[in-house]
Amino acid sequence: MTYQQKVEFLQSYQKADALVDQTAAQLALCKQHRQRLCTSGHAQKDLAWMEEEYSHYEQSLRKQVEGLVQARIQVLKAIQTVRDPVLQQVLYLRYIGGLTFEALAEQMQYSWRHIYRLHKKAVDTMWA
């Protein structure tokens, strides 16, 4: 796997995190719609059909969340393959914590140039 592919893999954590939040919001809306339908006075036949549709949609969203959670776990496991704790911390703070390189440098009390070097080394040693 190339350096760029590894970085894109690591970035998938934040993307999965955002999608989990979006999907959770969709699930909450789905529940609200279901509750409104039950109290709206629709014909029983229509309610049964709508309930089944919502149920399928809800199951689909839950499967998406499970897949996204698994993707996040894979990123965490990949970071744990880096043996050096400082390099591991750089990857964790960057991709899990979402810090910029500048914020990383400030928090770890290194220059931003040194953080870039550490980041490159950390990515290169991941899965090595």
What range does the domain containing 109 cover? 81-128
**Same domain? 91 vs 31:** no
**Same domain? 66 vs 37:** yes
**Same domain? 3 vs 56:** yes
What is the number of structural domains in the chain?
2
For the cut 70, the answer to whether the pLDDT of residue 8 exceeds it is yes
- At 112, the amino acid letter reads W
**Same domain? 13 vs 59:** yes
**Same domain? 2 vs 50:** yes
- In whole angstroms, what is the distance from residue 50 CA to residue 24 CA? 20
Q: pLDDT digit string (tens) for 29-83? A: 877 877 776 676 666 666 677 777 778 877 887 888 888 889 889 999 999 999 9
**Same domain? 29 vs 40:** yes
* Mean pLDDT confidence for 4-18: 91
Q: Work out the burial of residue 4: count CB atoms within 10 Å of its CB; fewer than 13 is exposed, 13-18 middle, 19 or more buried.
A: exposed
**Same domain? 46 vs 1:** yes
- At 13, the amino acid letter reads Y
For position 84, what pLDDT does the model report?
97
pTM: 0.76
